[in-house]
Structure 1
Amino acid sequence: MQKEVPNISIIIPVLNEEDYIQRVLAKILENTCTDQIMEILIVDGGSTDRTVFFAQKFGARVLSSEKGRANQMNWGAKNASGDILYFLHVDSLPPPGFDTQVLKVVEEGIRTGCFRLKFDSPSPFLGFFAWCTKINRPICRGGDQSLFVDKELFETLGGFDENYKVYEDNEFIGRLYKKTPFKVINDYVETSARRYMEKGMVRLQYHFAMIHLKYYLGKGPENIYDYYRKNIAL
């Protein structure tokens, strides 16, 4: 008997992202190569612009949630029907055949993983940090690389820790690494360098490094968020 191919639910948390939502949804439709994408869930944290309008225009299912990426992604996962959850940031574009590549890894028995990263910028500085995403270690992970995870495994681990207003992706991925083999697919999600352009590349990367350091030194989510709010938040 042929093994049933799992379905994928794509989950995208948003808040006032009218400039990016059409781009990512168009790219998903363009780069999908199977019939296994069950749904695209746009989890809105209270947008006041046209984000929801554009999401519905593309046929995505829109869910309303309490603001905060961890809250939004958990709510998306709770309402997802697919066997595989694929978390994607609104300013990150999946590669051609991303669904085929995820399903191939899952068929091999791997339950979670991500893609490598490249920026929409020619900067050698950002290029170096993008290159580092090929390294299969938790320190080299981040939400911009997207994340696929077996829904059962996601639920077993309790999902994203909603105490983390930032760094929720890294904290959860760290738990995944401790639980099961993690796959870095050798293809690229292209993400926007907009934050680096706004804040300054070296300055922003320094602050991200400090947040990593704080986490590895055992600082809690409030301490990390306080640092983020003072040094990074717009």
Structure 2
Amino acid sequence: MTVPLASVGCAQATRLSVIVPVLDEAPAISGRLAALHVLRQRGAELIVVDGGSRDATGDLARAVADRFLVAARGRATQMNAGARAGHGEVLLFLHADTTLPAEADVLILQAVAGGAWWGRFDVTIDGRHRLLRVVERMMNLRSRLTGIATGDQAIFVRQDVFARIGGFPELPLMEDIALSQRLRRLARPACLRARVLTSGRRWEENGVVRTILLMWSLRLRYFLGADPARLAVRYGYAAREP
């Protein structure tokens, strides 16, 4: 059954919920969320879910979000909390360091109105290193061929479909891959060629080649059944001291 969507460009109902998980994002959060104001003007709602920030992220986000929530730390847990609070017919999961194309909401709603159950955008990695151009091309091609999306590609999904599969598996890492696997069993994604811009900071700080090899290794180990908690530690996630 297709979700009944109001005509694209009409703000009669909340058709899109933008869910942004955050953690200690104070230096950049105001600008990132302000960039979503045009979507809110066209009827989208902005839900920010904090994972226990220790800086001014909460105060800054409250000032510009339609809803501000606090959930247990972890992108999957935070995004599931945002999805439960969302009123939109379509959910868009957006990393705090990713910028959408200007007409993202229109493109998403057109894709869903055309029959898509879920999808993602192509990605550009913000950075000057030549290898980043290769990385982003490979990410986009791999996603198009396999039907697997990453969180950096701004995954969107009909709310009824998201509920049907039980939301994000609450894993400390690879939650985007696990969600894609669940969704792919139902339908192939809409692979939108419009590009989101995502931060290349981790790539440049840790070395592009080193990061490529690390991500390949982590994904291979995940597909072979490795414990996501161990993979998260290897990726650099660490438990916070109380």
After TM superposition, the score normalised by the length of structure 1 is 0.90
Match of residue 172 from structure 2: 165
**Aligned-partner Cα distance in 1 for 2:76–2:237:** 20
Give the unaligned 5+ runs of structure 2.
Answer: 8-13
Give the unaligned 5+ runs of structure 1.
Answer: none
Match of residue 187 from structure 2: 180
Q: How many residue pairs get matched? A: 227
**Aligned-partner Cα distance in 2 for 1:139–1:35:** 29
**Aligned-partner Cα distance in 2 for 1:40–1:169:** 20
**Aligned-partner Cα distance in 2 for 1:62–1:118:** 28
1:18 to 2:20 alignment: no
Q: Secondary structure at the match of 1:149?
A: strand
Match of residue 17 from structure 2: 9
Match of residue 60 from structure 1: 66
Q: State which drifts further: 70-79 or 14-23.
A: 14-23
The structural deviation recorded for 1:170 is 1.2
After TM superposition, the score normalised by the length of structure 2 is 0.87
Map 1:83-122 → 2, pairs under 5 A: 83-122=89-128
The structural deviation recorded for 1:140 is 6.0
Q: Compute the RMSD of aligned alpha carbons.
A: 2.1
Match of residue 201 from structure 1: 208
**Aligned-partner Cα distance in 2 for 1:75–1:127:** 34
The structural deviation recorded for 1:48 is 1.2
The structural deviation recorded for 1:57 is 1.9
Distance 1:102 1:211, change over 3 A: same
The structural deviation recorded for 1:179 is 1.5
Q: State which drifts further: 98-107 or 50-59.
A: 50-59
Q: What is the percent sequence identity of the aligned residues?
A: 32
Runs ≥4 in structure 1, deviation > 4 angstroms?
A: none
The structural deviation recorded for 1:54 is 1.2
Letter in 1 for 2:73: K
Match of residue 150 from structure 1: 158
Match of residue 72 from structure 1: 78
Contact 2:16 2:91 in 1 (8 A): yes
